[in-house]
Structure 1
Amino acid sequence: MTAPHLWTLAQAGQALREGDISAAEYRSELLRRRRQLVGLRAFVSDTGLVPSPEAQLPGSLGAVPLAVKDNIDVAHVPTTACTPALSHHVPLRHSGVWQRCVDAGASLMGKTTMHELAYGVTGAHKDQLTARNPVDFSRLAGGSSSGTAAAVAAEIVPAGLGTDTGGSIRIPAALCGVLGFRPSTGRYPDQGIIRISPTRDTVGVIARSVEDLRLLDAVLSGQRLPSPPPVPTATPPVLALPRATSWANLDPEVARVAEAACDGLRAAGWSLRDLPQPLYDPDELLEAATAVPLAETRTALDDYLRGHNSPRTSQSVLENLASTDVRAILAPLLHGPVIGAEQYRAAHAVGRRTARAALRTLHSVGAEAFLSPTTVTPAPPLGTGQWMTAGSNQVPTFATYIRNTAHAAVWGWPSLTLPAGNTSSGLPVGLLLDAPRHHDELLLDLGRRCAQHLPATSRTLHRENP
């Protein structure tokens, strides 16, 4: 039998149900690993070091500890969103998603670090809240769900919860070498979450197997877990590759790994159809992706705080931002709206128009989903700020990392990143599948089949804590 920390969620659940290990013994094994990897900085505080009362409840998640991003409420545990003004904010009730996990028997391993207020793609923070990439501690884990991705990849927990507005589940999962799933917008409960964009935000899941993503999706969506087909489907899947959009200007190592993954799928009989024409105007879509959250953030923060009878307001939160990059984005909101009503409506119109066009494109080529590299470049070095180096150029970090993930969020589509391999220096590369809205279970099944033909990725951890 493998070491307990190597178990997937499904394997841990089976071992617990069959009595191979007790809940206390399993938790103790994971806590030992968490202490060994304290330099990873995946967790906000010591929360979770003491077992919670829920740990012995039966259910499909039977006593397995999970990591929870620190913008998702767990009763009597601080929800800080890694921002100073909320450092002492303690909700009295569970978020809707965590209540469903508790009802299924899960326990809390801890709240995880994140890019402040979920407004970033690297996980960088000015203090001890910067999660390291488990594959290389000199690099960032990605964001904004950085700590959850790092904890799962470092095998401290088998799975965890994050949130995704434009790529915040899928980016860190890809950069850390694990799986990340953003469901169709609205599929999971949204009560008890510090949101920055109610029309774009969703809770998502990070794990080390598609089976675990399917299990957690069933719990969080309230759906019955579907059974996989007993035999392989006779018809090979068809995927569309947006060559002119999400395959353009890739880091050479990312391109090499992604093309090799495609070769493996073709060898297995999959049909990959190149799309030579752009799916959308990248600049227009990026503007739509950023305009909507900027228009909604202040109201979303105030609604959350009022719902907790908090004396704090969005004003006090924004006045006390810690991160330079987040302050540069959000400080202008202190002086009034930065997105007008007409621009806000136009951004939503761009989303609707480009989603319809994307759906027509899929149908025209007979494809089930789009296939792309998840990020155009591997994990960034520590110290990366608002700008980063790409080749010989300085490029904006935020726009670079969300380039291939933003469209699914704008459209409300489910999106899944799978580990595709490693660069020559060992950094993980992710492969992204995007399917039409409300095709979540079909996408997860497609991901299960796809993962069978992708190379096993290496997540050899750096043992030396920074």
Structure 2
Amino acid sequence: MSFIKAAETQHRAQPEGRDLTALATAAAVAGGSLEPRRHLRELQQLSGQLAGYDAVIPPLPALPSTMLPGHLNGVPVMVKDNIDVAGAPTTAGTPALANNIAERNAPLIDRLTRAGAVITGKNVMHELALGATSDNPVHGFPKNPWDPGRICGGSSGGTAAAVALGLAPVGIGTDTGGSVRMPAALCGLFGFRPSPGRYPDGGILSLTPTRDTAGPMTRTLQDLLLVDSVLASRPAVSAHIDQSVRIGISPCHRVDLHPDVAEKYRQVQAALAANGARFVDVDIDSIVKDAAEIATVILWGEAADGLEHYLRTHNGPTLQELVQTIASVDVRQLLVAGLSSVDRAEYQAALQTRQRLREELQRRLDAFNVKALMFPTVPVVAPLAEQSEWMELNGKVVPTFPTLIRHSDLGGILGLPGISVPVGTGTLSHLPVGMEFSSLSGTDNDLLALVAAIEPGIAQVTPPSKIPMS
């Protein structure tokens, strides 16, 4: 299959400063043309200049005395504030954990730093990762670099903003129902949710281990593949595609889309079809519907145990003390209503339904020899900040949170890998649109290889210095 090359070549040129990719940074450091400490200090200064975007939690950490050589030599990495970084607070955006200083790195942070990466900041997140706006009364409301009056998405919104702004080429978030992929799409980035278990767990405040996983956000797919290889401790995946690749599309993913999203969906299909990809109708609407009915059952069936495990192993407050001091009204209401709302039998039944749906999804994809599904990561472009609860879509007022996760939540419920690819900005809104590719659990390498092969013909990435920030 012959896929078209990206129209713009400026992103392959050697950028400078905030536009440097992880690959370019590591290569320049290894070649001696970039002094890492100077580069990191310049990015810290930039972080101070862009403090009004509320992406990074101050103060910034001190630079390490030594940097290890490796694939990520000297590469700055931003980290969501529910992931442990030794010596830094892990607050998960909630007051009860304000003084929760991590004694050791989460295992995935160790893998990054052993490869030479430098953790340069923690990012603002939706409190306890329970929301899609990242509006946080403790640390701020991350502003979308494309329009400061709009949200970045959540719950990893601050991480997405930081990477889009150029404060680091790599960000690590966590994803329950879209919390990496959705902010990546709304901010014009690549975002990868791996299958659970691909990366080491531990050292992360998680409400639902069945659904939660860490994942990277980057400005290039090459950087994402590099970071994935480090986190997964395996060779980097390279582009590969079957000559008769078949990509599935489903009815539920093409209805009630923002006009800009609908336009990009058509354009991406046309570009890939023109170069040999075959799109196949695979109706998974019933699977999406049934999965949505068990989403919160799994969450609340695990939330109390997940929170208590983290609090206990970190000598933190009790769960009751944490809930009493929650700063976000929406999060407090969710926790008070959700904790202890699911009994053991209901939870076990949900897990059985989940397994049945995973098997049914595999049967339907196998029946059409489909390797991956494609759909808009988010049905809308970034909503305005004041639309955090309700928004207008195609002449109707709809709830913001379920609209934002309408497409991405299936991957979180069933444990599917998914990659959001930035495909440019809409003609009406001039805001980023993301297209997700998702496949069966455990097929991460095949999915990454497929996206690596087709990405040059569809991805449109704007470097930080070119984003028209107001």
3-state SS of 2:234 partner: coil
* Paired residues, number: 454
Q: How does 1:117-266 map to 2 (within 5 A)?
A: 117-126=128-137, 128-226=139-237, 228=238, 233=241, 235-242=243-250, 244-266=251-273
Alignment of 1:13-32 (within 5 A): 13-32=26-45
Instruction: Report 1:254-403 matches (<5 A).
Output: 254-275=261-282, 277-310=283-316, 312-333=317-338, 337-403=340-406
Query: Contact 1:57–1:105 (CA<8 Å) still a contact in 2?
Result: yes
1:184: how far off? 0.5
List gaps (5 residues or longer) in structure 2: 1-13
In structure 2, do the counterparts of structure 1 residues 239 and 373 end up closer, same or farther at CA, with 3 Å as the change threshold?
same
C-alpha deviation, 1:359, in angstroms:
1.1
State how far apart, in whole Å, the 1-side matches of 2:108 and 2:241 are: 33
Q: Does the Cα contact within 8 Å between 2:132 and 2:154 map onto a contact in 1? A: yes
Could you tell me how far apart the structure 1 residues matched to 2:252 and 2:366 are? 18
**Comparing 379-388 and 452-461, the one that deviates more:** 452-461
| SS of equivalent to 2:148 | strand
Q: Aligned equivalents of 1:350 and 1:390: distance in 2? A: 32
Letter in 2 for 1:406: D
Give the CA RMSD over aligned residues. 1.7
Task: Give the drift of 1:78.
Answer: 0.3
Corresponding residue number in structure 2 for 1:454: 458
Greater shift after overlay, 379-388 or 208-217?
379-388
State the partner residue of 1:85.
96
Q: Is the 8 A contact 2:378 2:405 kept in 1?
A: yes
Q: Matched residues in 2 for 1:366 and 1:281: separation?
A: 18
The separation in 2 between residues aligned to 1:365 and 1:281, in whole angstroms, is: 16
Structure 1, residues 182-209: CA drift from partner, whole Å, max 9, x if none?
0001111111100010111111110011
Separation (CA, whole Å) in 2 of partners of 1:94 and 1:113: 19
Partner Cα separation in structure 2 for residue 36 and residue 236 of structure 1? 49
Distance in 2, matches of 1:457 and 1:24, equals: 27
Change (3 A) 1:34 1:342: same
After TM superposition, the score normalised by the length of structure 2 is 0.93
Is 1:109 aligned with 2:112? no
Distance 1:170 1:233, change over 3 A: closer
Equivalent-residue separation in structure 2 for 1:248 and 1:122 (angstroms): 23
Q: Cα offset for 1:281? A: 4.8
Cα offset, 1:32, TM superposition: 2.9
> CA 1:324 to 1:389, structure 2 compared with 1: closer, same or farther past 3 Å?
farther
Aligned in 2, Cα 1:337/1:171: closer, same or farther, shift over 3 Å?
A: same
Structure 1 134/236 Cα, relative in aligned 2: closer, same or farther at 3 Å? farther
- The match for 2:441 among 437, 440, 443 is 437
Residue-by-residue CA offset, 1:89-124 (whole Å, 9 max, x unaligned): 111111111011111111111000111100011212
Structure 2 Cα separation of the partners of residues 58 and 66 of structure 1: 15
Deviations 1:320-349 (A, max 9, x none): 11112212211224xx61112232123222
Quick check: 1:177–1:419 contact (8 Å CA) kept in 2? yes
| Same amino acid, percent of matched pairs | 35
Q: Is 1:410 the counterpart of 2:417 in the alignment?
A: no
Structure 2 SS opposite 1:389: strand
SS in 2 for 1:136: coil
**Aligned pair partner of 1:51 in 54, 58, 63:** 63
Q: Does 1:421 align with 2:424?
A: yes
Q: Which residue identity does 1:261 align to in structure 2?
A: V
Distance (Å, rounded) in 2 between the aligned partners of 1:306 and 1:224:
36
Check whether the contact 2:56–2:122 (CA below 8 A) recurs between aligned residues.
Answer: yes
Residues 117-148 of structure 1: per-residue CA shift (max 9 Å, x gap): 00011212235421111111110100001111
* CA separation of 1:28 and 1:259: change in aligned 2, threshold 3 A: same
Does the Cα contact within 8 Å between 1:258 and 1:420 map onto a contact in 2? no
In structure 2, relative to structure 1, the CA distance for the partners of 1:3 and 1:412 (3 Å cut) is same
SS of the residue 1:139 aligns to: coil
Gaps of 5+ in 1: none
CA–CA distance in structure 2, aligned partners of residues 412 and 53 of structure 1: 39
| Code of the aligned partner of 1:288 | I
* CA distance in 2 between partners of 1:373 and 1:297 (Å): 29
Question: 1-side partners of 2:293 and 2:333: how far apart?
Answer: 17
The whole-number CA distance in structure 1 between the counterparts of 2:387 and 2:304 is: 27
Cα distance between partner residues in 2 of 1:299 and 1:453: 45
Q: CA contact under 8 A between 2:100 and 2:314: conserved in structure 1?
A: no
On the 8 A contact 2:195/2:441 being kept in 1, the answer is yes
Q: Check whether the contact 2:124–2:136 (CA below 8 A) recurs between aligned residues.
A: no
Q: Aligned partners of 1:128 and 1:72: how far apart in 2?
A: 16
> Is contact 1:376–1:404 with CA below 8 Å preserved after alignment?
yes
Q: TM-score, normalised by structure 1?
A: 0.93
SS in 2 for 1:111: strand
2:90 and 2:337 mapped to 1: Cα distance? 25
